[in-house]
Chain A
Amino acid sequence: MILEADKLCFSYKDRPVLHDVSLCCASGTVLGILGPNGSGKSTLVKCLQHILPPAEGRVVLDGHNLGHMTLKKRALAISYIPQSLIPAPGLSVYEAILLGRVPRFRWRPRSVDYQRVDEIIAELGITKLTNRFVASLSGGERQKVLIARSLCRDTSVLVFDEMTNNLDLKHQIEILDLIHRKTKEQELITVLVLHDLNLASLYCDSVLLLEDGRCRATGHPRDVLNQEQLQSTYGIRPLIISHQEHVYVLPRKQVVI
């Protein structure tokens, strides 16, 4: 299965945000969307599920144009989790995860829906949380609930917008380990919007670097995260170190006093 976006363009009223952005991602791989603040990362992933319908270009999943699908069909094809989302604060964890099955049932959940939620909860090891209210969870636990909600939808594409923001390093790694493992195990297509270039280098099979709504570079993290690209995109000169097939980007002071 392949997810392809072909020359996507999008504008908020008169302000163009995306210009001819194309991407391609295959089953069992993780694609990282990188770029400075305001470069159009979130807009791009919203265009992938047509939450923001692109003005031009198309998104194709396994030969089917998402623009020609109904809202429900798109919800069954791509699971998108926006940034800073608290998964339904007033609901219990179990109910918040069950919301992920909404596109799959008509007016009330069937036994297969409950069964799938039970499976995912057991798989992610969050059984202890199920009766707690979402509002009482820590940041890392909330993200796990969101991942569980995404996985129980049984879509072939997962899209997460800045999942690891506001998490400490341990939880960032725990969450990305989990997403990476599920992507490989279940042959999913995963698109991650990330700010942390090192995490992108560790977990992504390919990355797309955006600058002012345009694709600046795309390819393996090792090829994209180099001195020249980062200087022209972010305007900084970091130290770049290679270690065991991964590159690490270390920030350096720009002004030395």
Chain B
Amino acid sequence: MLHVLPAGGLLLIASLVSLSLGSQTMSPPELSVSVLRMIGRAELDTQGKILYHLRLPRLFLGLFAGAGLALSGTAMQGITRNPLVSPFTLGLSSAASFGASLAIVFNLTPFPGTRMGVVATAFGCALLCALVVFLIAGKAGLSPVTLVLTGLALSYLFSALSAGVQFVSQEYQLSAVVSWTFGSLNGAQWSHTAIPGILLLTALPVLLFIAWPLNVMHGNDDEVAKSLGVHPRLIRMISGGTAVLLTAAIISFTGVIGFIGLVAPHISRMLVGVDHRHLLPHSAIVGALLLVVGDTLGRTILAPVQIPVGIIVSFLGVPLFLHLILRSGNGAFE
């Protein structure tokens, strides 16, 4: 537990700063009063309403999304033994983008014209893609290479399908699709936090339960895993399935926030090592930290313009990542 304390402390500070900054800045005492009024169910003033309806749901969606994407990335890199893998390697981002395009351009969704409609179609397409990847890779033995290559192939397919939909779309629809793919927390509501939150709180114990098999699979090939009594296929199904569900749910709400799932596991690996008992919770915290800091900067540095968090996260994460690579010498994965 001690491993996560420094990152956890930073996350707490970043969350409080995020809550206090915005069009109306709140001092720590004002923030405390508003939170106490919320807890006491007293009537909220303007600041309290901003906090409750805008900043808190946005913060929680950011926390859940960042932690979830990082957790999925850690699980995926563990089961594929590949440092270049992210939660989107199985084609999820392209499939979700295709789903969002279908909903935005053709209104092909169970809830036409609503944000939840886009969410549902993006989620459905991402899951469909993951299912196809697992079925095809499963036929070929579900090895790390077949999993990654099948994901890559499906990713290209869904990118082409998305491009096809965008090609026939109107200009205003195209703009909506493109801004969805930037990935952002704009317009976050409490209702958007429930599904990512529940899935995150389910995925973390599931992945921690298989932390030792993941340790075995991370540094050893399948034969060694079998010799230690670990079923590589079973662990790949559990871990991959959990990562897919979590990622699909998150990006359906936030759009594609790409960098966190790749880089947060590497940052944590450099800081706490490759033991998944420590790595999983730590990378979840680092992912949440990157997203919350990125989002806070994105909505304040050029206010009132809100820069999508997906863009800011890359600006923040790349220098940090490069610094850690240079410091650790041998890269992130060893």
B274 adjacent to A71 (CB under 8 Å):
no
Interface 1/0s, chain B 200-235, versus A by CB < 8 A? 000000000111110110111101101111110000
User: Taking A75-B229, A103-B229 as contacts, is the C-beta distance between A89 and B224 under 8 angstroms?
Assistant: no
Across-interface contacts of A109 in B (CB, < 8 A):
212
Across-interface contacts of B227 in A (CB, < 8 A):
49, 51, 75, 78-82
User: Taking A90-B274, A108-B212 as contacts, is the C-beta distance between A102 and B334 under 8 angstroms?
Assistant: no
Which chain B residue lies CB-closest to A135? B334
Give chain A nearest CB distance to B226 CB in angstroms.
5
- Tell me how many residues of A have a C-beta within 8 Å of chain B: 32
- A-B residue pair count with CB separations less than 8 angstroms: 77
Asked if B30 is at the interface of the complex by the 8 Å CB criterion, the answer is: no
Q: What separation, in Å, do the CA atoms of A90 and B273 have in the docked complex? A: 7
Stretch at the interface among A25-33, A54-62, A91-99: A91-99
Asked if B333 is at the interface of the complex by the 8 Å CB criterion, the answer is: yes
B275 adjacent to A95 (CB under 8 Å):
yes
Give chain B nearest CB distance to A68 CB in angstroms.
16
Asked if A85 is at the interface of the complex by the 8 Å CB criterion, the answer is: yes
Give chain B nearest CB distance to A19 CB in angstroms.
22
B218 adjacent to A88 (CB under 8 Å):
yes
A90 adjacent to B333 (CB under 8 Å):
yes
B333 adjacent to A75 (CB under 8 Å):
no
- Tell me how many residues of B have a C-beta within 8 Å of chain A: 27
B213 adjacent to A92 (CB under 8 Å):
no
User: Taking A102-B212, A102-B213, A135-B334 as contacts, is the C-beta distance between A88 and B231 under 8 angstroms?
Assistant: no
Give chain A nearest CB distance to B242 CB in angstroms.
15
Interface 1/0s, chain A 135-151, versus B by CB < 8 A? 10000000000000000
Asked if B269 is at the interface of the complex by the 8 Å CB criterion, the answer is: yes
Q: What separation, in Å, do the CA atoms of A103 and B333 have in the docked complex? A: 25
Across-interface contacts of A79 in B (CB, < 8 A):
227
Partner among B212, B221, B334 whose Cβ is within 8 Å of the Cβ of A89: B334
A90 adjacent to B212 (CB under 8 Å):
no
B223 adjacent to A51 (CB under 8 Å):
yes
A87 adjacent to B219 (CB under 8 Å):
yes
Interface 1/0s, chain B 220-256, versus A by CB < 8 A? 1101101111110000000000000000000000000
Asked if A46 is at the interface of the complex by the 8 Å CB criterion, the answer is: yes
Asked if A221 is at the interface of the complex by the 8 Å CB criterion, the answer is: no
Partner among B215, B223, B230, B277 whose Cβ is within 8 Å of the Cβ of A88: B215
Asked if A74 is at the interface of the complex by the 8 Å CB criterion, the answer is: yes
Asked if A107 is at the interface of the complex by the 8 Å CB criterion, the answer is: yes
Which chain A residue lies CB-closest to B228? A102
Q: Which 10 A-B pairs have the closest CB atoms?
A: A75-B229, A88-B219, A90-B274, A103-B229, A72-B229, A80-B227, A102-B228, A51-B226, A107-B209, A51-B223
> 21 interchain pairs (CB within 8 A)?
A49-B226, A51-B223, A71-B226, A71-B231, A74-B229, A75-B228, A76-B229, A78-B227, A82-B223, A85-B220, A88-B274, A89-B334, A90-B273, A92-B273, A95-B215, A96-B219, A99-B228, A100-B228, A102-B228, A107-B209, A135-B330
Using A79-B227, A88-B215, A100-B228 as known contacts, list a sample of 16 further A-B pairs with CB atoms less than 8 Å apart, ordered by residue number in A: A49-B226, A51-B227, A75-B227, A78-B227, A82-B224, A89-B219, A90-B273, A90-B333, A91-B219, A91-B273, A99-B228, A102-B230, A107-B209, A107-B211, A108-B212, A108-B277
Residues of chain B having any CB pair with chain A under 8 Å: 209-213, 215-216, 218-221, 223-224, 226-231, 269, 273-275, 277, 330, 333-334
